[in-house]
Chain A
Amino acid sequence: MLHLNILNHHVLSVAIWLPILAGIVVLLLGSDNKAAFTRWLALAGSLAAFFATLPLYTKYDFSKGAFQFEEMVQWIPSFNINYHLGVDGIAVPLILLTSFTTVIVVIAAWEVITKNIAQYMAAFLIMSGLMIGVFSALDGILYYVFWEAMLIPMFLVIGIWGGVNRVYATIKFFLYTLLGSLLMLVAFIFLFHKTGSFEVTDYYQLPLSLNEQILIFMAFFMAFAVKIPMWPVHTWLPDAHVEAPTGGSVVLAAIMLKLGGYSFLRFAMPIAPDAAHYLSGFMITLSLIAIVYIALVALVQKDMKKLIAYSSISHMGFVTLGFFIFSQLGLEGAIVQMISHGFISAAMFLCVGVLYDRMHSRQIADYGGVVNTMPIFAAFMVLFAMANSGLPGTSGFVGEFMVILAAVKYNFWVAFLAATTLIFGAAYTLWMVKRVFYGDVANPKVAELKDLNRREFLILAVLALMVIGFGVYPKLITDFTHVSAMQWLDHMAISKLPVAGL
């Protein structure tokens, strides 16, 4: 009975620590000598961790916007640091996406990773738990610990299983993130000074002058903008993607970028709402640059992974745009975009992985006419490419549609620039599809390609179902976000500036 109690009352703790525990078990028991056992063990762990997050869906109270599944234990009483967890409708879909993606990554690595299998699998399992920790921490320090800790497995994944220039990519990634994170820590210490607590909810109530708010906002901004990434702090991402192994790219694109987006909603904006309003023009400008500038850069990429990486940055522009126009439709659109991009970018990177495993090249010029030898794979790729281009009926459409519609109300020209994604997004994605997949078989290597095996088919089919499912019935996501987004906007509408004269 005690056992059941833990599952019922500590859903979030289980969601965080089960994959970490599973990762440690895999690390201890698995080895390259027992490759099959290690893989199955990792799969079992990731599946268990995925099922452990399902109560967040089944037991979620959709009528409430406040934090649910809260857990609170004192951690370091002398500094009033608590182990405080809780999620709202913004966090839950992201947590489910995380545990889901981990299963996909484990299956995707099956025959591809042949060296240090246990370490690879463990890195992803542990990373999954830590990222869920980021999504559910309501204490600044706890959040910060998860935030920093999660980077370590990612550095290792890129640094050990990565490509030729992995060291440059890892260092660039590290430098970018470190700079931002340190400023975030400074912000937390400042807030601790003001409130004597690291409770996020205390920060929400804290009145702050506009200058203080701007400084706090900018400190958080440095951390989160790098992670999303926003222009101009985005250049680490294409390099990191190119060097990362497929699984690393998938987690990076599907989840890690969303940590930045989520954290804007959880920390930067509600703690400094007046600054968020004050700086919204600046943030929207950066978002639009991401959407337009980055899309044009994506158009001329020669490396498929770089192209998809730039495409990710461009798509994440819709997330930040949706945040800073302060409308329910835009905000929900941004969240839907985050979830949808999780599936689509994962699928796109897995597709590149499928090709890379066979040809050991990511250069578009090395391909041509792949559809002739891999017709089933090509069908999947066209579907995901269409989703990436925002075709209605796929999840890629929903978020962009909502954000663009909301932007029309904010300012027609903002919507105008954002809507160019319809043209540019289709241009860079489908032009790549044309050059890689269509045409005559380009060279003998392409001629020898074998179509998807059952494992690859399974992964892509599951992702295809998700992409279409959420495209046809996105209410599954907005049911979560609806009330929480409403409350978030209500909070954002109230100024935190100290009332003059007091």
Chain B
Amino acid sequence: MSEFYTSVDHFALIPALMLALFGCAVLLFDFLVFPEPRQRKWLLVFVALGIGFAGLGLVRQQMFLAAEGLNEFTAFRGALTIDGFSIFFNWIFLAASLIVALVSYRYLEIEGEHHGEYYGLILLANCGMYFLAAGSDLVTLFVGLELMAICFYIMVGFLRFDKRSNEAAIKYLLLGAFSSGFLVYGFSVLYGIAGSTRLGDITAAVASRSPWDPLVFLALATTSVGLLFKISAVPFHMWAPDAYEGAPTTVTAYLSVASKAASFAFLVRIFLGPLISAREVWAPLLSAVAIATLTVGNLAAVTQTNIKRLLAYSSISHAGYILLGLVAGNPTGIKGVAVYLLVYTFMNLGAFLVVVALRREHILGEDLEDLSGLMQKSPVHAILMLIFLLSLAGIPPTAGFLAKYYIFWALIQARQYVLAVIAAAYVAVAIYYYFRIVRSMFISEAVDREPLASSLGLRLALGVTGVLTLAIGIYPQPWLELAQNSVLLR
């Protein structure tokens, strides 16, 4: 191999390459080989293969790191950094993509918008996420971000004949483009400071300046706007409820977990990389944002009657908790971010999957009322939803408790007692709105007799998310070790 594409480069790139390859293959095969609607199930095989090969790539990266005794390796002269962190997050993305692809088949059929390119977009978005977790160069990161975002703009508006879906897509596109503008502006300032786009160089250059240097502050402020938008932190959260409500539910699920996890990976890379020396500036800023996010997310969720909107606000509040892990800034906190995102992926996906199952031929299934009497109608769905909601609220022995536990632990360690008490108090608020759903399911009488949508993929996905949400809570040790690697290796 030439010096432009070494074997290390190959190792670093292979998962993304697989995702992109199979993503494009799906697009191509969709209209060349499988023109008939009923042949589309073969596309799922492509998705599974793409994700499988990408996973294999991750395993090889892990083995490579272990064999060489390395904490990390860089490729393409520093543009990609493969470490425990990137591998950990990439596993999350792959799992989310696979689960979402599995459940989309039946859902899109019901919506009457089943097109092959949907699966291509999932793989391409995942490819973008790969670069967000593994990129260590401003340009790589930005391209990854845009690749992911553009796929999502299309997927949010995938229901072409649904006004809400169109509106959501336009809103998300406009605000997203605007925030990307801020981000790029921030990046240009960082480049101006360092004269390089490599994160390592920028870190050194920023560290040589005072944290209160106006240029550093400008970079910090504009970059933060872009990043906080992506994780839907207050005050840049306005797009989330609308986009979540209008998008096809499967896309909402994907958006709320994978896009959020990827953006958090990106945010952690930037804040603990180039901006680490300005910690004293951004820590108070981020704690204010976190508190505002918790407040708005939790309080606004209380009055929602649309489940997707309710879960949208709840996911805003979860962003607040995750930010608190970063605010605490100690190893526990960073590990907490990783654990939280892992747990959040499964529990939030699970909750949305139940909403996916509620969509039937003639029933939209997005209202709180549509859940009423679920325990009578379909006890398995009701009990699974209960587990997901308890986990989202953070009640042991579900996984969500563990996630919150890490955040509290990190805050106590950092002696941020006030933040800890505020964060704890919002757990009680959250239980109120989560239990409005529980109340509908278990106490109210059913309004319709129509059975829930079902398919093998949906059942499988619900089973996996449900089992994991409980298993991580009851026996978390192996999962914590996984997250531990992601932090220690950094």
Q: Do the two chains bind?
A: no
